Amino acid sequence: MRLRFLGFVVLACLGASACAFNPGPAGSPGTATPGEGVVEVAAEGARFTIGPLPAGWKRLKLTTNAAKVAYQHAVNHQAIMVNVIYAPNRAAGLRALRNHLLFDITSRTILEEQFLEVDNREALWSTVDGRLDGARIKMALLVVRIDDWVYDLVYVAVPETFDLNLEEFKQFIKTFHHQRRYPVE
């Protein structure tokens, strides 16, 4: 399921085109609250909110279950996607979960890797250069486990346009918030 997700991200990005991370203060939950431009998503038993993206980003209508939310930039054709899976018994670490997303990426190089805090949980941020079906791609990946859910937030572009909207993806990550609903004791 996670492999199809990344393939969908890359195809959304490449199909429409010709083909030192500083996350800010750690420890604060996402700032997205329902309102204008904020998206609240319920999927796989999880609920999460993400904040709005600036002008130029269009939310894609998804016809497959490959991602829960997806956007594409109208001018530069980068793609941003969010997926979540319910994995209560999956003991894999964040690196293993990230590597699972990269199975179909050949000639890959992990350019950057760092652990940071997202929505009060440890997350793994990576930038990766590689090829999918021979096409050059560059990605920023964030993998975070919150309770029994694993979230993948991905930004994909051709290498020449990767930096153009990377800051918007970083801001998007800052607005991510898993809606925790615990039983009252």
The per-residue pLDDT for range 120-130, each reduced to its tens digit, is 999 999 999 99
Structural domain contains residue 183: no
Structural domain contains residue 120: yes
Tokens 């999918």, located at residue: 132
Identify each DSSP E strand in the chain by its residue range: 39-43, 46-50, 57-59, 69-73, 79-86, 106-118, 121-132, 135-146, 149-157, 177-178
Determine what percent of the chain is predicted with pLDDT higher than 90.
55
Nearest to 6 by CA among 142, 101, 140, 135: 101
The per-residue pLDDT for range 34-71, each reduced to its tens digit, is 445 788 888 778 889 998 899 999 999 887 767 889 99
Q: What is the CATH number of the domain that holds 64?
A: 3.40.1000.10
Q: Which domain holds residue 103?
A: 2-19+31-178
Structural domain contains residue 13: yes
Question: What is the total count of domains within the chain?
Answer: 1
Structural domain contains residue 26: no
Contact 76, 13 (CB under 8 A): no
